[in-house]
Each structure stands twice: as structure tokens, then as C-alpha cells.
Amino acid sequence: MNIDLTTSPATDDLEIMNNGLRAFEVSSMPDLPQESEDIHVAAFARMDDGTIVGGIKASVYWDGLEIDVLWVAKDQRGNRIASKLVDQIEVFARSKGAVIAFLKTFDARGFYQAVGYEVFGTLEDRPIGTILYHMKKRLDKS
């Protein structure tokens, strides 16, 4: 056996690996939805002239919402744009059956705590000198 390390893996090789992992997941959880059912969603805050001043990108899958990116232009921070974006994406996720939301951040922990998220794990030095916070929020609480 040889171990092949590459920084540019072939698409076919990645597909074999991904299919193998998927087969394992389904063997452990037979009712797991197909990846084709994953919903990739985004919302944008725009000025009247159409300029984007904020946005959020997320995925809804496996009964959860994963927030990948949340950004607000520096000159627009403090206007509750981020809170509105998070709220809108959570409402959408709930409508698709999501019961939990999760994300990772190194600099916005305070913001996410203010909108109901809690830290469930930390990773030091990612990048060096920082702490990467893994956060979650139950979406099915009344």
C-alpha cells in the first residue's frame, strides 16, 4: 500500500472518498436525507441603490442550520443588520425543519451570544493567538 498526498486531488478520487463516507453514514443512520436535499441559502442587506452592505450564507441539512458566513460593512455595523440577517435565516431554517443552529467564529462570540447562541467548544491557535469558538442555538425552543 502507498499513501498518496496531494494538494490537487482528482475529482474522481474525491468522489470515491465521499461516496465511501456517505455509505458509512447511511449504514449508521438509514433515514439520513440525501445530500441533494441540502438547502444552501443566503440573505443580503442592500441599500436603496442595490449596494450590498451585509449578508449571511448558510446551509440547512440534517435537521440543522449551519451558518458559514455573516458579514456587515464596517460603516453599517451597529444598525442591527447582523441581527436581522441571523433572524431571517433562522426563520427560514425552522420552516425547513431545523431544530438547531451552529457556527464557528473567532471574533464575534459576543454578538452571537447576544442573539442566543452559546459556546459548546473552543479551539486555541486557529489562527495562532486566537480562540475559535464553536457555538450553537436551539431553534425548537418556544
* Domain contains 1: no
Q: Domain range spanning residue 63?
A: 11-138
The reported pLDDT for the residue numbered 35 is 80
The reported pLDDT for the residue numbered 27 is 94
State phi, psi for 45 to the nearest 5 degrees: -100, 125
* Domain contains 2: no
pTM for this model (two decimals):
0.86
Average pLDDT across each block of 10 residues of the chain; the chain has 142 residues. List them in order. Answer: 94 95 92 87 98 98 97 97 98 97 96 98 95 97 70
CA distances from 114 to 10, 18, 101, 111, 118 (A): 43, 37, 15, 5, 9
58: domain CATH number is: 3.40.630.30
Cβ proximity of 91 and 43 under 8 Å: no
